[in-house]
Amino acid sequence: MQDRISDQAAALLPPDERARATAEALATRVLERAKAPRVVPPFAPPRKVDGQGDFHTVDRLARALMARASQGISPNALVQTWTDWALHLAQAPGKRAELAQRAAMIAARLSLWAPYAVADGRHAPPFAPAPADRRFSDPGWAQWPFNVFVQNFLGVESWWTEATTSVPGLARDREAEAAFMARAAVDMVSPSNIPWLNPVSIAKTVKECGFNLLRGAANWQEDYDRMLAGRPPAGAERFEVGREVAVTPGKVVYRNDLMELIQYEPATATVSSEPILIIPAWIMKYYILDLEPKSSLARWLVERGHTVFMVSWKNPDARDREVSLDDYRRLGVMAAIDAVSAIVPDRKVHACGYCLGGTILAIAAATMARDGDDRIASLTLLASQTDFAEAGEIMLFLDEGQIMLLDDLMWDQGYLDSRQMSGAFQALRSDELIWGKIIREYVLGERDDMSALMAWNADQTRMPARMHSQYLHGLYLENRLSSGRYAVEGRKIALRDIRAPIFVVGMARDHIAPWRSVYKICLFTDTDVTFALASGGHNVGIVNPPAGKRGSYQLMTMERSERYVEPDTWVASAPSYSGSWWPAWEQWLDASGSREEVRPPQVGATDAGLPPLCDAPGMYVRG
């Protein structure tokens, strides 16, 4: 106010005096402000550049559109891998000379063998497919000229394997990526994938006068229509949830915004006093553990006198984009344990986790151990990883650039769709899951018989954006859990704090959770660990009821006081058994807890605010 009055008074003075008065007033103000104490904020906010946020949003949107078009596969990662491989190979004249020599040797062996391929079959071909490669198992491939096609292909395949292996200076991860991409590219041109070079498709077409091709075209049209309409594959409608699968009697006894808890009805007059809580992965519907009655793990346990609880996860959508990984621990595992403890009070719980459900269960168990919560009687991890340093070929799709692309895709959608996840898993076994299926169904005109497991696999789920990003960054990229850097509620947890005995199952042919990666929990825990190595893959090896009398497994316990046994030594020394691992696990459960037999508990606990809400399988599994 004083400054304004002075300015008005100065305006009445002559021009020369007015200029001198203005200069004196300005000098006075500068001196006064210089003498005043200066207040500096403790953290100066960064200077915002106009439009910076808008430009960043445009970049993310562009990457999200790219991710939609590529099904989540980063083109930049592919280019970088090939460029890195080519540059290192260009700087290795010795490696190039070795490859040239190998190419000449392959050509010489093929040229020397080719005349005998026409004359007779007594001379062994120069190359043999891998033991697990069934593409050329039909007898027609042994006849000329198809045997020549096969040998040429196997020769090229062996050359590319050598070309992408042991390149001097190439990083190990880049080498694995280059080898994988080379193998995928070579598989595309396999003679088994080319109808006019495939003796099976030729014979089928001749025998049926081309009607197999008409059926194949009809199969393709049906699959295309179903994909556009968002319908399941042909035949999956025969396995309706609640009618043909997920039919073990039970009630939903608890529900929150993330999961439902199912308590199965008892099937015996007495039950084991300690209940079993199963935590499936939310990347899949829970009923893989409750398929048809003959293959249901939940039903098998109930019929053998166990009280079984099962978590059924909600299938998230865009509204759940902010659901975090810790929400799955709090609202999933811990909420389920609290509910089980209310229904079966004063009893410890045998907790079992499958795949990603086992990972979050291990996190919850370590947190409980840190905080002095001893409600877990035993811990079972089925094909679940706690260390991700050697997570297998899936890591080829999970570098920084790839995950940034997925982050932007989820930022746009709010979730990651299962179709965008399945592309990577199918690529790991492209010869069987992609090209073999195309030949069978669209060239030979033969539909694969839909099974309950296949129908379950087609029952798609989604992953919340925030949770999936935290999972990929914190566990896969940074491997925080096994290194002691994973924090829960602001404090670090350690797997070695777990004192409950642990039963771990790895699968010999698991491409998602390789058994050697699963086995590494033995390095990071300080308790008795029983490890079972079962035949089969990630899903088939788990769904292996004893009545099927198929498969085999190895089993051995490493006690807390024993020295560490590395995986190859374990395989060489662990006893082998035929059949399913289920009975061995149940015997271990009985030995790990109380053997007391009691009357079955009531279903739900109305007095504790947990009344039965609806019949199993509940609402969320249908979403």
Residues 567-598 pLDDT 10s: 999 999 999 999 999 999 999 999 998 878 99
Give yes or no for residue 317 having a pLDDT over 50.
Answer: yes
Max distance between CA atoms of the chain, in angstroms, equals 122
Q: How far apart are CA 465 and CA 318, in angstroms?
A: 8
Q: How far apart are CA 472 and CA 410, in angstroms?
A: 12
Catalytic positions, written as ranges: 355
Q: Which two tokens mark 603?
A: 């279903």
Rounded Cα–Cα distance for residues 29 and 9 (Å): 17
Please report the DSSP string for 426-486 in residue order: HHHTHIIIIIHHHIIIIIS--PPPP-HHHHHHTS--EEEHHHHHHHIIIIIIT-TTTTT--
Beta strands in 236-370 (DSSP E): 250-255, 259-264, 271-272, 276-279, 308-313, 349-354
How many beta carbons lie within 10 A of that of residue 333, not counting itself?
25
Average pLDDT across the chain, whole number: 86
Q: Per residue in 485-508, pLDDT tens? A: 999 999 999 999 999 999 999 999
Write phi, then psi, for 34 (nearest 5 degrees).
-70, -35
Angle, in degrees to the nearest 10, between helices 199-208 and 211-229: 110
User: Residue 501, preceding bond cis, omega within 30 degrees?
Assistant: no
Provide the pLDDT for residue 28: 52
Between 81 and 7, the higher pLDDT residue: 81
Nearest-Å Rg of the Cα atoms of the chain is 32
Domain edges within the chain: 2-31, 74-201
Helix/strand number for the chain, H first, E second = 23, 17
- What are the tokens at 354? 């499958």
* 477 vs 299, residue with greater confidence: 299
The model's pLDDT over 277-307, given as tens digits with 9 standing for 90+, comes to 999 999 889 999 999 999 999 999 999 999 9
Show Cβ contacts of residue 184 under 8 Å, excluding neighbours closer than 6 positions.
Answer: 427, 430
Q: How far apart are CA 354 and CA 279, in angstroms?
A: 6
Please write the tens of the pLDDT for every residue from 210-221. Answer: 999 999 999 999
User: Which parts of 197-348 fold into alpha helices (H)?
Assistant: 199-208, 211-229, 297-303, 325-327, 335-343
pLDDT on residue 543: 94
Give me the pLDDT at residue 570, please.
Answer: 95
The span from the CA of 463 to the CA of 478, in Å, is 20
pLDDT digits (tens, 9 = 90+) for 331-365: 999 999 999 999 999 999 999 999 999 999 999 99
As to burial, measured by CB atoms within 10 angstroms (0-12 exposed, 13-18 middle, 19+ buried), residue 80 is middle
- 504-551 pLDDT tens trace: 999 999 888 999 999 999 999 999 999 999 999 999 999 999 998 889
Higher pLDDT, 164 or 35: 164
